[in-house]
Amino acid sequence: MKLRNKINLYTAFLFAILLLIINITVYYSFSKLTLDSELNTAHNEMKKISGNIGKSLGTISEDILLRSYVPVNGMIQIVTKDKNDSSPYTSPGAHDLSKRESVFYSNEVSKAIEYQDRLFSFESMPIILQDGSIANLQITKSMETATNILSILRLVLIMVTLLALIPVLISSRILSDLITKPVTSMIRTMTDIRESGAFKRLKLEGSSKDELFQMGQTFNHMIDLLEVNFDKQKQFVSNASHELKTPLTIIESYASLLKRRGLKEPKLFLESIEAIHSEAIRMKEMTEQLLMLARHHEQWKIELNELNISQLITQTVKAFKNAYNRDIEFVQKNHTPLFIETDEKKLKQLLFIFLDNARKYSDGTIFIELGHDQDEVYIKIIDQGIGIHESDLPKVFDRFYRVDKARSRKQGGSGLGLSIAKEIADAIGVLIHLDSVAGTGTTITILSKKVKKL
């Protein structure tokens, strides 16, 4: 069964059950109040009649008294303990009541009885007869008016229930359409995606921002992630197949040389082993870089914390000096601590990428400058190396783009460093600006918002 029909059916069913419970409660409550009211009225009338009869016995004959107090649509009689009862007196429409067996009661009795499928109020009250004996004055009175009212009420409630189901069915249908519309649209969109292979999104309408709208937003966000990851995977496969082809070819060529002449020529053996080892390391580094680029930012597990940027740069410079034995001069424009909110590991990786590029493409001292301008903290990494031509600047962050292909190959570059740097910067929320003049040097500027300390 479709979700729309389920919602329609369940809503109508639950509302019908609720309405039925309410109507039954109303009916039985009203029925009890009505019957109690009838019995209370009959009991009050009985007190009055018994009092009048008790006073009049002896002065007015019993038959005249009973005949004068015959209820409309009912019966009156006096019942004695020895069953020496007087004749019952009935109204014209209640002769059958005289056939009902009489019972003597020692106490007052007030109750509703059913006789021949009709409802009556029955009142029995002790009275003292003229001879001093105790008897029961009993009045049986029809409750047909009350039962008729209850029958009409029952019919009205049934009709109301049936009529109320019509708008319920209509409203539940509208509600089911409203709820299932985004689901239907989502199914249709996913079907289109499956058939066409193209990523599509839901058209979000309305400004209610309810759960259905949020579901549509979540679906579109999921499609965005899928499309980004699909593009990254496709690009990864394309890049890997393109970039790994060269080192694999080199390794295969040297391996073939080793098989043919390696044992006879020690110099060729050492050269081949060195080349294979170098290319294997480059393949490993390239694969790690490609895998990193293939991940989405949300998979990097970014942890943003307040960070003393001066301390981080000092630690990074010290580690880089020890690793590569290069002169690096760190200059801070002011001596007040500067704090930014970022991921420490990712920012350190970003600095290593830029320092490594400066090391590869320059021979002199590398300068790092730290300062702030109003609400922004800047880090400048300055080298005096070969620089970059103005025409190449827009392309330096593209994957596998090399300004100097011969030199990059020689030093093991894959053209992925600046691409990874751009991805890291976007992930941790910092900006990168690159200035370079060919033959003079390059300046990389990292910009981040300053965290104000109270």
What's the CA gap between 290 and 294, in Å, rounded? 6
Both structure tokens of 386: 């070969």
Number of domains in the chain: 3
| R_g (Cα) of the chain, nearest Å | 50
Mean pLDDT of the 376-396 span: 86
What is the tens place of the pLDDT at every residue in 229-275? 777 677 666 656 655 666 777 788 878 878 887 777 788 788 888 87
Least confident residue range of 91-100, 103-112, 262-271, 421-430:
262-271
Q: Do residues 36 and 135 both lie within one domain? A: yes
> Could you tell me the pTM of the whole model?
0.46
In a domain, 161, yes or no: no
Both 305 and 436 in a single domain? yes
Is residue 223 located within the same domain as residue 101? no
Q: Does some domain include residue 230?
A: yes
Task: Determine how many CB atoms are found less than 10 A away from the CB of residue 424.
Answer: 22
Residue 95 domain-assigned (yes or no) = yes
Residues 340 and 410 in one domain: yes
The conformation of residue 161, written as its DSSP 8-state character, comes to H
Q: Are 79 and 135 in contact (CB under 8 A)?
A: yes
| Residue 293 pLDDT | 61
Residue 8 and residue 146 in one domain = yes
* Residue where a domain stops, chosen among 244, 277, 297: 297
Q: Which domain holds residue 79?
A: 3-150
- Residue 443 lies inside a defined structural domain of this protein: yes
Q: Give the residue-averaged pLDDT of 304-308.
A: 88
Region 204-231 average pLDDT: 76
CB atoms within 10 A of CB 55: 10
CATH code, domain with 317:
3.30.565.10
Q: Is residue 347 domain-resident?
A: yes
Distances (CA, A) of 407 to 120, 361, 404: 115, 9, 5
Element housing 108 (H / E): none
In this structure, are 277 and 375 located in the same domain? no
Give me the CATH number covering residue 56.
3.30.450.20
* Residue 236's CATH number: 1.10.287.130
Write the pLDDT tens digit of every residue in 346-362.
Answer: 888 888 888 888 888 88
Residue 184 identity (one-letter amino acid): T
Last residue of a domain, one of 297, 323, 339: 297
For residue 183, is it within any domain? no
Co-location of 128 and 74 in the same domain: yes
Q: Where are the alpha helices (DSSP H) in 86-244?
A: 144-196, 211-243
138 and 21 in one domain?
Answer: yes
Query: Which of 106, 132, 150 is the last residue in one of the domains?
Result: 150
Question: Which pLDDT value is given to residue 325?
Answer: 82
Half-sphere exposure of 452 (CA within 13 A, CB side): 4
If you average pLDDT over residues 15-28, what whole number do you get? Answer: 90
Rounded CA-CA distance 277/124 in Å is 118
233 shares its domain with 345: no
Using CA atoms, how far residue 251 sits from 160, 237, 278, 322, in Å, is 88, 20, 9, 32
The answer to whether residues 111 and 132 belong to one domain is yes
